[in-house]
Amino acid sequence: MQTPETQRIKVMIADDSTTVRTIFRDILKDTEFDLVGEVQNGQEAVEHYKRVRPDLVIMDIIMPELDGVVALSNILDFDPGARVIMASSLGTQRKVLDSIKRGAKNFVMKPYDPDVLIEAMRKACREFSN
Amino acid sequence: MKQQEKANVAVGLGGKFFGQFLLERGTISTEQLLEAANFQKLRNAKLGAIAIAMGLLTEAQVAQIHAEQRRTDKRFGDLALELNLLTSVQLDELLRVQKSRHVLFGEVLVEKGFLSRELLDAELAQFQAESRNDEDALQDLLKTAAKDVPVLEDALDVVAKMFRRLVHEEIKLQGFHQDKTRWHPYDLTARLAFEGEYQGTFVLSMPEGLALRIVERMLGRPFPEVNDLVLDALAEFANIVCGNICSRLSLRGIEADLHPPQVSRTFNLDPNRTAYIMQVATAEHPAEVVLLAAN
């Protein structure tokens, strides 16, 4: 179901896998989220964030150039209010804690459960609005 | 590629393992095996096909349920109810019809006159006894090796879980060995290296047919041949498997990281590294999972 233009949320994804980005596009269909950027590595994620200023970022961890955890820190250095959800299959205790400590709003494990991912995205946006 | 040919015969004919057992023993011929497997495949139709044949669902509605299945782990019938495409009475009737049509491979052989009932019972008893022995021996072997390699059991378990979750297929362990001279990679091989408190390399080798099946399931549309997107999806599948292995290891206090995945058509095992080679198979395709220890 489409929501009014004013309530739509701009989201970007950083993942080096075309497959994951394709699946992510499918998940966003018929939701309140608009995909405003797809990038393939952490460096591009930081640059694209600065240009587009999306409401939400979905960030993979293992990526070429700059990994997702470092990209997360760089984005938060630029914009401390940035909302970034880490999305990775690498859900080790160290990675999860490290990401949250650095300021990630959530950590979603791959393979995506679409309902879990969308709920995490909505929660991050609600907390931000409040 | 003798090993591949054998494995394809072992699991590629719909009769699964019992068919191969009978073939190896000379109880049935390859022609009989194929005919019985084709007959069984036609009889054991899926719920969607039966629903269409009975006029309960349209092809478009079945496609809608299948699309939803790719997003979730839910069963066909449960989704049909959730989407209000079937009532519970209709679903019960569908399941009853499916069950009444379902036929076992051995029964087909008897029905077609390839085996007598007495011979089927005798062969089945022998097959079950040998299967139990093989499985016990395999598990014992794996457990022995797993003492040396903490990731071994986790790897196999996660591979099975991800095949179930992403490909909607069961994968079974069929053999385990450490003889690198018996390693013959299939058409495509994905691999990732671990680093940190566990160091080693995960290797998943499979024929093109299985790779295309995985990608079809992950992306929700068929792929007639291997292209860049297929290779990317295969890399992501291996990445998800290995990421989840790392998560398991983390629960045991072992912190490991991953290098990005690589997929290639050829891959040789390093002769200087210890290899743990697990032969696995879905209902239709063989594959091999290898862990290379870091020496």
A3 touches chain B (CB under 8 A): no
Spell out which residues of chain A touch residue B260, defining contact as CB-CB under 8 Å.
Answer: 16, 62-64
User: Which residues on adjacent β-strands are paired with residue B189?
Assistant: B205, B264
Contacts of B66 (CB under 8 A, 6+ apart): B48, B76
Question: Which residues in chain B are contacts of A90 at CB distance < 8 A?
Answer: 243, 246-247, 257-258
At B212, the pLDDT band (50, 70, 90 cuts) reads: very high
pLDDT digits (tens, 9 = 90+) for B259-276: 889 999 988 888 888 889
- Pairs of CB atoms within 8 A across A/B: 76
The label of the residue with tokens 């931000």 reads A128
Q: What tokens were used for A64?
A: 């070429």
**CA–CA distance, B36 with B42 (Å, rounded to integer):** 10
pTM of the model as a whole:
0.71
pLDDT digit string (tens) for B24-79? 778 988 788 888 888 888 888 888 989 999 999 999 999 888 877 766 667 889 99
Chain B residues bordering chain A (beta-carbon distance below 8 Å):
71-72, 162, 165-166, 215, 218-220, 228-229, 232-233, 235-236, 239-244, 246-247, 249-251, 255-260
- Those residues whose C-beta lies under 8 Å from the C-beta of residue B12, and which sit 6 or more positions away, are B284, B285, B286
Tens-digit pLDDT profile for residues B221-257: 899 999 999 999 999 999 999 998 988 888 778 888 8
Specify the length of chain A in residues: 130
Residues of chain B in contact with residue A23, where contact means CB-CB under 8 angstroms, are 218-219
For B73, name the nearest residue in chain A, comparing CA atoms only.
A113
Name the nearest CA neighbour of A63 among B227, B261, B247, B120.
B261
Measured distance CA(B7)–CA(B9) in Å, rounded: 5
- Helices (H) then strands (E): counts for chain A: 5, 5
pLDDT tops 50 at residue B1: no
Cβ separation A111–B165 shorter than 8 A = yes
Task: Kindly report the nearest CA distance between residue A5 and chain B, in angstroms.
Answer: 26
pLDDT (0 to 100) of residue B71: 64
Per-residue pLDDT of chain A (130 residues; tens, 9 = 90+): 445 555 799 999 999 999 999 999 999 998 999 999 999 999 999 999 999 999 999 999 888 888 899 999 999 999 999 999 998 887 777 778 788 889 998 888 888 888 889 998 999 988 656 5
Q: What residues of chain A lie within 8 A of the CB of B218, using their CB?
A: 19, 23
Contacts of A20 in chain B (CB under 8 A): 236
Residue A82, chain B, CB below 8 Å: the answer is: no
**Chain B contact for A63, CB < 8 A?**
yes
Q: Please indicate whether, in this complex, the C-beta atoms of A19 and B219 are within 8 angstroms of each other.
A: yes
Q: Where are the beta strands (DSSP E) in chain B?
A: 172-177, 188-196, 200-206, 256-258, 262-264, 275-281, 286-293
In sequence order, what are the residues at sequence separation of 6 or more whose Cβ sits closer than 8 angstroms to the Cβ of residue A3?
A32
Indicate the DSSP class of residue A83.
-
Of A109, A130, A106, A99, nearest in space to A120 by CA: A106
Q: β-strand A56-59 against A9-14: which pairing, if any?
A: parallel
Query: What is the average pLDDT score of chain B?
Result: 83
pLDDT tier at B295, thresholds 50, 70, 90:
low
pLDDT in tens, B121-138: 999 888 888 777 666 776
- Asked if A62 lies within 8 A of B165 by C-beta distance, the reply is no
CB contact under 8 A, B246 and A90: yes
Q: Which amino acid is at B284?
A: E
Closest-CA residue of A relative to B235 is: A17
Bridge partner residues of A85 (DSSP):
A58, A106
Closest chain A residue by Cα to residue B253: A93
**Does residue B101 surpass a pLDDT of 50?**
yes
Output the pLDDT for position A75: 97
User: Residue B219's closest chain A neighbor by CA?
Assistant: A23
Q: Which of chain A's residues have a Cβ under 8 Å away from the Cβ of B214? A: none
Give the three-state DSSP class for A59: strand
CA distance A26 to chain B (A): 9
- Taking residues B85-99, report their average pLDDT: 93
Categorize the per-residue pLDDT at B14 as very low, low, confident or very high, splitting at 50, 70 and 90: very low
Q: Any alpha helices (H) in chain A, and if so which ranges?
A: 18-28, 42-52, 68-78, 93-102, 114-129
B28, B115 Cβ separation under 8 angstroms: yes
> Would you call A62 an interface residue with chain B, using a CB distance cutoff of 8 Å?
yes
B244 Cα to chain A: minimum distance (Å): 6
In the predicted model, is pLDDT for residue B15 greater than 80?
A: no
B246 and A17: CB-CB below 8 Å? no
Put simply, the answer to whether A91 touches B242 (Cβ < 8 Å) is: no
Neighbours of B38 (CB within 10 A): 14
Angle between helices B117-148 and B16-24 (to 10 degrees): 110
Do B255 and A20 lie within an 8 Å CB cutoff?
Answer: no
- In angstroms, rounded to a whole number, what is the distance separating the alpha carbons of residues A31 and B261? 31
Q: Contacts of residue B249 in chain A, CB cutoff 8 Å? A: 92
Evaluate whether B246 touches B258 at the Cβ level (below 8 Å).
yes
Tell me if chain B has a CB within 8 Å of the CB of A104. Answer: no
Q: Do A62 and B258 touch (CB under 8 A)?
A: yes
